[in-house]
Each structure stands twice: as C-alpha cells, then as structure tokens.
Amino acid sequence: MNVELTELTRRFGHTQAVAGVTLEAGPGVFGLLGPNGAGKTSLLRMMATVLPPTAGRLRLLGRDPGGFGPRREIRRRLGYLPQNLGYYPGFTVADFVEYFALLKDMPPRRVPRAVAAAIEHVGLGDRARAKLRTLSGGMLRRAGIAQAIVNEPELLLLDEPTAGLDPEQRVAFRALLREFGQRSTVIVSTHLVEDVGVACTEVALMDAGRLVFHGTPGELVTRGEGSGAAGDAPLERGYSAVLAAARSGAAARS
Amino acid sequence: MTGNELAGGYPDAGPGPADVDLDRVWLGVAAQVWRRRPGPVERVTGRLLRSPGLGRALVTTPSLLFGWLIATVVILLAGIGATVSTGEPWVALLAPAVAAAGIAYAYGPGIDQAWELSQSMAVSDRMVLLVRALAVFGLNAALGMAASAASGAAAAVTFGWLVPMTAVCALALAAATVTRSPTVGVVAGAAGWVIALLAGQAAEGQVTAAVTDSVFVVPYLAFAACCGAVVWLATRIPRGTP
C-alpha cells in the first residue's frame, strides 16, 4: 500500500479538522469528496508531509515520514498540488517546473527532458517561455500540475486540480489522471462529483473531519438509488444520501 | 505523430525514416530550448552544496538579484560620501540595517509565495532558508566592510558593526519568519538597530558606542542566538507520527 493512515487526527486549537481517519490506498485514482470544511485539505496536507498529524499513524510509500531520511525519500517520490498554488510571477513556466524538479532532488541530467515532458503533458508547450504573471488561472493550475508530475511521482496528491480549467482541459486532465493511476497512487481532493465518476477507481467521502464513505463510484451511486436524495446525476444523489445519513447518525448520537 | 505518419501526408516527400518518433524528438528539442542554463555562480554553489536545487534557490533569492545588489551598493556609496563629509561613521551605522533588510527578503516563509509547495520538497525549506540567509549575510558583510574601509573609518569602527549586524539580521529573520511578512522583518531589524544605537548613546554618550564598545558583544551574540532559536522553532520540521 502506498498510503496507510491509521486513526489520523489533526486539531487546530479546539477545532478538529481531521478526526481519526483510517484509510489505505494502492495504485489507482482515489477521489476525496466532501463539502467545504470537511477536512479534505488538512488530510491531503498531512499526506504531503507539510502538516504534522496531532495523533494517529501515517505511512507513505512504505515509510514513516517522521524521520528525516524517510521523509526526504518520500518527498523525492511525491507530487503535490496545493489548493492555493503560490507562484513566482517573474518565473517562466519552464523555470517554475525546473525549479521544483531540482528541489525534488531529480538527477540534473534528467531534468530538462522531464520538464519538457511535464509541460507538454499539461498542454502548456506554447506558453513554456511565458512569465507566470501573464497566465490565466487555468493555465497557472496546469503549470502547478506540471510541477507535481515532473518527477513521475509514485504518490500524486492534487487539491482541487480542476478549479479554473475549462471543459476541454478537464477532459484532458482526467485522461492524465487515469494514465498516472495505472502506475501510481493518485489522490484527488475535489468537490466536483463528476470528476470522481469519470476518473476515479475508488472514492472516499469526508464530512466534519470523518470518513463517512469509502468504496467505488458505483457503490456510491447505489447508495443514492431510491433514497430520494437531491442531485441531478446518480453520483450526486449518492453523495447527498451518504452525507444525509452521516449527519442524521451524528445528530442521533449527540 | 511518427515520422512515417507525417511523411504520409506529403506524397512528394518520399518515405520518412522508419523509426522516428517526432514526439520524442520534439521533447528533446524543447528540453534544450526551454531549459535555464545555470550561470557560473549557480554551477559552483550547486557543486559546493552538493545540490543543484540549492544552487538554483540561491541565485533566485530576491535580495541577491542584480537590482537589489545595485541598491545596496548605492546606499553604501552614499554612506561613504556622508562619512567623508561629516566625519561620522555613517557606513557603520547604515550597514547593519541594509543587511537586515536583505535578510528579511531572503525568501524565507515570509515572502516565498510557494512556501507550502516548498515545504513538500526533498530539499528542505529550512535548508533553503539557511543557505539564502548565510549568502545574503556574507555578501552584505563583505560589501559593508569594503565600504567601511573605503570611508577611512578606524579599525574598531570598520569591524565593530559585524557583531551587531549579526544580531540585527537575526532579529529581522526571526520577525519575518514568525509573522510571515518581510516588511515586518525589515521594520523590526531597523527598529532594533535604532534602539541599539540610542542605548549606546545613552550609556556612553556617543552614537558609535553600539559598534565600538566591546561590552555589547556578548549581549548582541546572546540576542542573535535567541532569535536563531525562534527561527529554528518557527521552521521546525513537521512530525510524521507523534
């Protein structure tokens, strides 16, 4: 398993952002769904080793990120697209991707070709020499995806990757997800249910920091059948049904 | 598209080479055209630090870029002029504040727009910050000493500000790191230095006491160590498993 989380918890003061999540994920595309504030981003940041868990156990690519050596090894094999991608306005797309390829400790001789491949992969070949400050939001997102995939990561973590992409780009992006999912573990946090239905082999649904569903997109669809839950598509109805059940259960418990 | 497919569209072109993958060829060309060729400084630092990533981080530090360095030199030249014309050691009084501003803008957590991304990199963000801060400090110290010597100041003044500069830079770095704002770092460094100068004047009756009186050396170093500890804590490496 590339990702093993056991009772993973993260608190910010009195707020519990992630509450005892247990999860395993191997190669494939894993969709992380949930409403705003469900804890998706905190969970992803813990998996990206940028946020320490408050409690619980985390193993990534068979290693414990608690030690310096294993953490560095994980980071070499990791691709991460944060929700808020900061960027250097004066860098070109190629400079930006190359900079992070070097910080990922890629062998320098491999870097130029890997950068070119990543930029072409996200369809930014014609803007490779453009400064980041001149790009649209969707193009910036694609530059962020390019830096995430430049090292051919074994674990690819993407937080709201399709935000700002137009429909054509989203279709291309889903193809990219499927391609990477064949050899890596790809975890995509999103609130766009249709992205999950098309690209993901597994899906987890979070609410109030807890994991309230884990299964295939087909199983999520089944949850919505005959439930009378709101939604225009079968997956949306499954999403709504699971959330409603989780919240009524939580209300009953309290 | 392969070479054969391309040639197939142009009957007069004749058969294309059998095994040419144009995508592959293009990637090779793009890799050479798009790559940023490292300059001598980046090559040497990358080799010395045994990390091309750190070499690149160093040459992209805002306060080591050409414009910033020119501004630093201009300020120090003005300090030389003021020292020569007034007899007051202006270079020694200016240099620590200039260095503190450079340190605050050394692309630590305060200014790095891609800080979260940087935190997930194999070359640690802390190491990047350390290398950048040391480089900015070293360069500012060299420029300041050259300016101080050029202004004809006494040896005690020429070298006396190096220790207070360390403390002021550490304060600027700590403030920028904790508040995540380089501006706060600059203000804190400058304010700290002004307070040190005024304290020296109050204690010894002259503004240069802050750089010439050896009584202050230990407090400066202790203060710098405390600020260093603050930076260490503020950038501590996340624990994976408690």
Phi, psi of B70 (to 5 degrees): -60, -45
Position A53 scores a pLDDT of 92
pLDDT average, residue stretch A122-141: 92
Write down the ipTM of this complex.
0.88
Written as one letter, the residue type at B67 is: G
Name chain B contacts of A45, Cβ cutoff 8 Å: 116
Tell me the three state secondary structure of residue A20: strand
pLDDT average, residue stretch A71-75: 95
Residue at B25 is within a domain: no
Contact B88, B214 (CB under 8 A): no
Shortest Cα–Cα distance, B15 to chain A (Å): 28
Q: Does B53 touch chain A (CB under 8 A)?
A: yes
In chain B, the number of structural domains is 1
Position B4 scores a pLDDT of 42
Q: Test B121 with A147 for CB contact under 8 angstroms.
A: no
How many residue contacts between A and B have a Cβ separation below 8 Å? 130
C-alpha to C-alpha distance for A54 and A125, rounded to whole angstroms: 42
Shortest Cα–Cα distance, A137 to chain B (Å): 16
Residue at B117 is within a domain: yes
Position A49 scores a pLDDT of 93
C-alpha to C-alpha distance for B8 and B95, rounded to whole angstroms: 69
Q: How high does pLDDT run on average in chain B?
A: 83
Q: What is the pLDDT of residues A5-26, one digit of tens each?
A: 999 999 988 889 999 999 999 9
Residue at B10 is within a domain: no
Q: What is the pLDDT of residues B164-215, one digit of tens each?
A: 999 999 999 999 988 888 899 999 999 999 998 898 888 888 878 888 888 8
Residue at B156 is within a domain: yes
Q: Does B117 touch chain A (CB under 8 A)?
A: yes
* Helix axis angle, B125-150 to B90-104, nearest 10°: 160
Phi, psi of A187 (to 5 degrees): -115, 120
Residue A114 CB-density burial (10 A; 0-12 exposed, 13-18 middle, 19+ buried) = buried
User: Quick one: which of B107, B124, B230 has its CA closest to B167?
Assistant: B230
Q: What is the DSSP string of A116-146?
A: HHHHHHTT-GGGTTSBGGGS-HHHHHHHHHH
Place B7 in a pLDDT band, splitting at 50, 70 and 90.
very low
- If you measure CA to CA, which chain A residue comes closest to B57? A99
pLDDT at B224 over 90: yes
Shortest Cα–Cα distance, B66 to chain A (Å): 14
Q: What is the pLDDT of residues A32-46, one digit of tens each?
A: 999 988 999 999 999
pLDDT at B26 over 50: yes
Residues 84-123 of A with CB under 8 A from B: 84-89, 91-92, 94-95, 98-100, 102-105, 108, 111-113, 115-117, 119-120
C-alpha to C-alpha distance for B129 and B125, rounded to whole angstroms: 6
In chain A, pLDDT over 90 holds for what percent of residues? Answer: 62
pLDDT at B95 over 80: yes
Q: Which of B28, B116, B123 sits opposite A105 (nearest CB)?
A: B123
Name chain B contacts of A131, Cβ cutoff 8 Å: none
- If you measure CA to CA, which chain B residue comes closest to A46? B240
Written as one letter, the residue type at A200 is: C
CATH 3.40.50.300, chain A: domain bounds: 1-65+155-254
Place B18 in a pLDDT band, splitting at 50, 70 and 90.
low
Class of domain A1-65+155-254: alpha beta
Residue at B34 is within a domain: no
Q: What is the pLDDT of residues A225-248, one digit of tens each?
A: 877 777 778 888 888 889 888 888
Q: Which of B36, B53, B119 sits opposite A50 (nearest CB)?
A: B119
Q: Test B116 with A86 for CB contact under 8 angstroms.
A: yes
Range of the domain at B179: 61-234
